[in-house]
Amino acid sequence: MKGKDLLSITDLEAEDIRLLIADAISLKAQGWLDMLSGKSLAIMFEKPSLRTRVSFELAMRQLGGEAIYLSPAEVGLGGRESVPDVAKVLSRYVDAVAARTFSHRTLEVLAEYSAVPVINALSDWEHPCQALADLLTITEKKGELQGLTLAFVGDGNNVARSLMLAASLTGMNFRIASPADYTIDEGTLTLARSNAADGILCTDEPRLAVEGADIVYTDVWASMGQEDEAKKRSKAFAGYQVDAALFSLAKPDAIFMHDLPAHRGEEVTDEVIDGARSVVFEQAENRLHAQKALLAAILGGLEIPLAGYYR
């Protein structure tokens, strides 16, 4: 993975994901290290962020490297300066770029013109770093991924897309329940089915998805950039709230997951997100550990004998 981009979770093979999870577990136990000294990361965002910004910045610092945050107002990607020019300039300063963009195409252009690796820190199409942290969290909670069933209730969005593909690559079953106009795209569904033929279910019935699941996952109904659709979406998603009644259809030891930020009272009730089986804050913490493994793999560290380190 050294020197490679991560624009989509499909840039990783199943083995890469397993190694990154193993590395993340190892790095989580080791804390601060001097692995990436002399390396730097630009964190360039077109949209707001709490978790992704803090976890990328801290990941670099905890590995002995530097991080520079560029806020939405500062960069003006494609406005103040063309995307190719921004890519070429940043490549002269830093060793990698983590970018959060409205359009996935912007990320692709950045990667095309950048001489250094580009990491997708969320686009309208995918959120691969979230999926890595999620699979790390599931591994910690359940011991393994193979054979587990994850039920995603809600929008077939960026988070769902990366998670479905990551789950199908790692032997999990993935069920998604969305209203008719908000289903996941056919291309992603076909790709996931090519990885896990019998393990993928796409339905408009939340109860069918959740019944007997090991993990119940949801995300906001209106993502960043869709604020003007919020009213229309809350109507369409009205029957898709993860409340105690829906969650009770999952296995008795099922966990609840959400990438956050959550809109409490919309896609999830307080009772579920604050309940004993909710792991949402562990998930948020794991963004840090998963991204440390990713940065170590992409930027190359020193003599830490991590599982995926020398690939």
Interface residues with ligand NVA (CB under 6 A)? Answer: 122, 157-159, 219-220, 223-224, 259
Beta bridge partners of 257: 217
Instruction: List the x/- string, 63-102, binding to ligand CP by CB under 6 A.
Output: ----------------------------------------
Q: Is there a contact between 213 and 254 (Cβ–Cβ < 8 Å)?
A: yes
- Name the residue number minimizing CB distance to ligand NVA: 223
Using the 8-state DSSP alphabet, how is residue 109 labeled?
Answer: H
> Under the criterion CB under 6 A, does residue 259 sit at the interface with ligand CP?
yes
Token pair in block for residue 38: 């002399």
Task: Out of 13, 37, 50, 144, point to the residue binding ligand CP (CB under 6 A).
Answer: 50
The letter for the amino acid at 128 is: P
Report the 10 Å Cβ neighbour count for 183: 17
Task: Find the shortest distance in angstroms from Cβ 237 to ligand NVA.
Answer: 13
Question: Which window, 50-58, 149-157, 188-196, 198-206, contacts ligand CP (CB under 6 A)?
Answer: 50-58
* CA pair distance 38, 66, nearest whole angstrom: 8
Instruction: List the x/- string, 196-225, binding to ligand CP by CB under 6 A.
Output: ------------------------------
> Under the criterion CB under 6 A, does residue 130 sit at the interface with ligand CP?
yes
Task: Find the shortest distance in angstroms from Cβ 260 to ligand CP.
Answer: 5
Task: Find the shortest distance in angstroms from Cβ 15 to ligand CP.
Answer: 25
Task: Find the shortest distance in angstroms from Cβ 178 to ligand NVA.
Answer: 13
Q: Which residue has the tokens 């393990």?
A: 199
Q: Is there a contact between 48 and 100 (Cβ–Cβ < 8 Å)?
A: no
> Considering beta carbons, is residue 132 or 220 the nearer one to ligand NVA?
220
> Under the criterion CB under 6 A, does residue 238 sit at the interface with ligand CP?
no
Using the 8-state DSSP alphabet, how is residue 54 labeled?
Answer: H
Read off φ and ψ for residue 49, nearest 5 degrees: -165, 145
- Name the residue number minimizing CB distance to ligand CP: 52
* Contacted by 50, from ligand NVA, ligand CP, none: CB < 5 to 8 Å by type: ligand CP
Kindly state the number of chain residues that form the binding site for ligand CP, as judged by CB under 6 A. 9
> Under the criterion CB under 6 A, does residue 260 sit at the interface with ligand CP?
yes
CA 116-191-165 angle, 5° bins:
60
Residue 208, H or E segment: helix 206-210
Instruction: List the x/- string, 103-122, binding to ligand CP by CB under 6 A.
Output: -------------------x
Task: Out of 8, 26, 49, 269, point to the residue binding ligand CP (CB under 6 A).
Answer: 49
* Contacted by 210, from ligand NVA, ligand CP, none: CB < 5 to 8 Å by type: none
CA nearest to 55, candidates 16, 88, 24: 24
Using the 8-state DSSP alphabet, how is residue 126 labeled?
Answer: -
DSSP, collapsed to helix, strand or coil, labels residue 17 as helix
* CA pair distance 292, 55, nearest whole angstrom: 9
Give CA 73 to chain center in angstroms: 24
- In the sheet that 40-45 helps form, which strands lie side by side, from edge to edge? 66-70, 40-45, 96-100, 118-120
Question: Which window, 64-72, 80-88, 256-264, 303-311, contacts ligand CP (CB under 6 A)?
Answer: 256-264
> Considering beta carbons, is residue 4 or 263 the nearer one to ligand NVA?
263
* CA pair distance 18, 8, nearest whole angstrom: 16
Token pair in block for residue 34: 């001097």
Task: Out of 26, 52, 101, 162, point to the residue binding ligand CP (CB under 6 A).
Answer: 52
Task: Give the binding site for ligand CP (CB under 6 A).
Answer: 49-52, 122, 130, 259-261
